[in-house]
Structure 1
Amino acid sequence: MRSLFLSSIAALYALAVALPQPHPLSISLTKKSTLKTADGRVDPASLRAHISSAEAKLQRNAAAFERNTGAALFSPSHTKRAAALGSAPLIDDANRNWIGAIEAGTPPQTFTINFDTGSTDLFLPGSICGNACGGQQRYNPEISSSAEPLGEPFKVEYMDNSMATGDLYTDSVSLAGFKATAQTIGVALNASGFSSEKYDGLMGLAFKSISKFGADSVFHTLVSQGAVPEPVFAFKLASSGSELRVGGVNSALHQGSFTYTPVIKEGAWQITGDAIEIDGKEVVNAFPAIVDSGTSLILGNSFDVSQLYATINATEVEKGVYALPCDAMPAVSITLGGKSFPLSAETLNQGTMDSSGTICIGAIHGSDEVGDQWILGDVFMRNVYSAFDVENSRVGFAELA
């Protein structure tokens, strides 16, 4: 009997080894909107509105973290409270978005998604969502055999008085071919004040502690269910060849080894930076920072940013927004984990602000709302290959190939 049991185990093991093993897979990413006007210029007032959106997202994350854990995400002096506390983020049309495809439901329904390392939840427009959902693809749980209602409503309120309401469901969600089962989804059934034809929904990739729903992100669900070969996802963000790698890193897209820095608090992907230098002068050191694919810019506290631009005599044209000659972009580098990562002049240049084409907007902006917290968004991430390691709670950076 024992020999029969052992033989059966051996047969099962041999079968498991023979079956195809999962490998990391990639989703191609495209950029579908920018912060520029139709004529290619940057409007400082619109840019200021985008900064306000990033500030509001930081406040929402802090409120969700406190509600879910009972602890403060930031020191009270570092986080001002706003009327929209507790709302979960949706990205409006003015943002720069990196989007790709996912599937949800059984049979699968396909959606174009904005991937955001600065939030956690998955939102999709529902089949009876109003005109605010515009030309978006709608998710219909009624035609999915794997959908289950949770019997819980949600309400999302925004700083600009827009809002969305809906219901929570669980369903299967496939990311780069890896399937998460019983994933919590916020399904918008009514909305006002926002619309987007650029993408259908938002997928957060951060930690459960800042979830509006108290649920794991899709990637964390994949990890907990053993559905991915490695508990790592990675980004390349560039003018071409951008991708989200799921279940590992793409060695063809980076060169040299990774420099890792630990996550200091599992809300968003929050790390500690060593220094920020401009033209060889260190302006900031030992600063907390969030690595955020859902924000297009680099955002820091107003004082440090003003000191940075004072080094090159730039002019503040809107609160926290600075202009300088287009041909005089400074040499800026950010040191993480002991390694300095230079930012290209192309990424530091937000674009021209007048018809002369000689004055440009810098892509590092100041805020009174963030305390000493920095947000390292698209402007930084386009200069590195970024790996997010869930198991070891760390973020790695490598030079682009």
Structure 2
Amino acid sequence: MFYKASMITFALAFVASASPTPPPAAIRIPLQKRNLLTNENGTVDSNAILRETARVQNKHRQNLITIDNKIGLANFHKGAHVPPVAAPPTEHEKRQAEALADAGPSWTGIVSIGSPAQDFVIDFDTGSPDLWVPSTQCEGCNARHSYDPSASSTSVAKSGTFRIGYGDGSTASGPIFTDDVSVAGIAVHNQAFSAVTSASGDIASGVSDGLMGMSWPGISQLNADPYFFTAVSQHAVPQGEFGFYLAPSGSELYLGGTDSGHYTGDLEYHDLVSTRGFWQIGGATALVNGQPVVFGFETIIDSGTTLMYGPPDAVDQVYQSVDGAVSLGNGNYVVPCDSFPALAFSWGGKAFDINPKVLNLGQVYDGYCQSALGGHDFGLGDNVWLLGDTLMQSVYTAFSVDKQAVGFASLD
């Protein structure tokens, strides 16, 4: 249930204390990675990219509806608006239903809920706030694992109902509980989540069971702290920080600090422009072949988004600096496969290069390949870009609750 499985590992950070008992060793959990944006012959799956873009728009459409209900979009960001429902392409619907509904990789690991523990394969998403898993009473769920509150001595039913709906027919809803939740041994108590009893559409298909949001609490439909924020408040982690290392193999989420074995030099931190919802930082510049072409924009760093997107006019400005770039007319661009540009982002310090292997999504037609940067208005506000796994597979990324900042470092 919910998106595709990918390769991720979990590592836990612990610090020495005065206690004579040594801290537990780091824990790494490898999982299988699948990427359905590129066909086996190296060509682009154009419908998969359109599905991924529609999924991202509908995901953030729901976030924006929540923000509007809580504080009003005018108080969130200038130009923010609820976009229309994005409809994925209708071709190959049968194939989609038989396989995976969404295009891009999601980063998954094991989450344990309850006493005794009930294990789930969960997507970890820095662009969403809430934790939800399927209930044993769920209708329409195709999950391998489900939550039984009666089997947990620490489960407490709460008032209210959780519901997410992406407008394209994908929905999930169910009651709200609190229970013990553990990720690779980092345990918290009384964590709010939903055990959904109804699911439909794309949200019910896939190979993972549910989702753990890792964004800020302001967009929570549960009106509760996300798991990692609970871990910080309950002193379950030594630092209020987690880091992502995303790679073809050996990927990991590091909870309670950062794993310096995966990056070189120091992390370069940039303050959040707001803690109302997203991991959003400002002062960004896009560079093409070392030359700055777009300045002074904000970026949301989202592990639950596969590609990178900017406002259509700004992205078009980027491609005007790329020899041979051609617009496909839907926000996507192709460039000559043998002369892909060097694209980088800077937030006022070092320029971080995008890995050309992830920037190039594969051949679209003879001699032209599709770029992973597209132009799209998701309603997130004026001058706001959305940077997903294409960026995060090119840098080490740290998300600091303590500093209220996002940090980047070059990969080792």
Name the TM-score class by shorter chain: 0.7 to 0.9
Shift of 1:45: 3.9
Cα distance change, pair 28–217 in 1 and its aligned pair in 2 (3 A): farther
1:1-400 alignment runs, 5 A limit: 17-21=19-23, 27-28=29-30, 30-37=32-39, 40-69=42-71, 72=74, 74-82=76-84, 92-130=101-139, 132-194=140-202, 195-266=204-275, 267-312=277-322, 313-354=324-365, 356=366, 358-370=367-379, 371-400=382-411
Q: Equivalents in 1 of 2:129, 2:154: separation in Å?
A: 22
1:333-382 deviations in Å (ceiling 9; x for gaps):
1002411101121011112224x5x3211000111334421111000011
Q: Equivalents in 2 of 1:173, 1:331: separation in Å?
A: 43
Shift of 1:101: 1.2
In the alignment, structure 1 segments of 5+ residues that lack a partner are 1-14, 85-90
Shift of 1:157: 1.4
1:162-201 deviations in Å (ceiling 9; x for gaps):
2222111111110121101111111111122123332111
Cα distance change, pair 259–185 in 1 and its aligned pair in 2 (3 A): same
Give the greater-gyration-radius structure (CA).
1
TM-score, reference length from structure 1:
0.88
Cα distance change, pair 30–229 in 1 and its aligned pair in 2 (3 A): farther
Contact 2:85 2:168 (C-alpha < 8 Å) held by counterparts? no
SS at match of 2:48: helix
SS at match of 1:77: coil
Contact 1:24 1:247 (C-alpha < 8 Å) held by counterparts? no
1:82-140 deviations in Å (ceiling 9; x for gaps):
469xxxxxx9532321111111111111111111111110010111222x322431122
Q: Equivalents in 2 of 1:92, 1:265: separation in Å?
A: 32
SS at match of 1:127: strand
| Aligned amino acid, residue 316 of structure 1 | S
| Aligned amino acid, residue 348 of structure 1 | L
Residue range with higher mean Cα deviation, 319-328 or 50-59 = 50-59
SS at match of 1:353: strand
SS at match of 1:18: coil
| Aligned amino acid, residue 366 of structure 1 | G
Q: Equivalents in 2 of 1:80, 1:218: separation in Å?
A: 27
Q: Equivalents in 2 of 1:320, 1:256: separation in Å?
A: 36
Shift of 1:25: 5.4
**2:4 counterpart residue number:** none
Shift of 1:395: 0.9
Contact 2:280 2:298 (C-alpha < 8 Å) held by counterparts? yes
Contact 1:320 1:365 (C-alpha < 8 Å) held by counterparts? yes
TM-score, reference length from structure 2:
0.85
Q: How many pairs align?
A: 378
Instruction: Compute the RMSD of aligned alpha carbons.
Output: 2.3
Cα distance change, pair 74–57 in 1 and its aligned pair in 2 (3 A): farther
In the alignment, structure 2 segments of 5+ residues that lack a partner are 1-16, 87-99
Cα distance change, pair 116–235 in 1 and its aligned pair in 2 (3 A): same
**2:9 counterpart residue number:** none
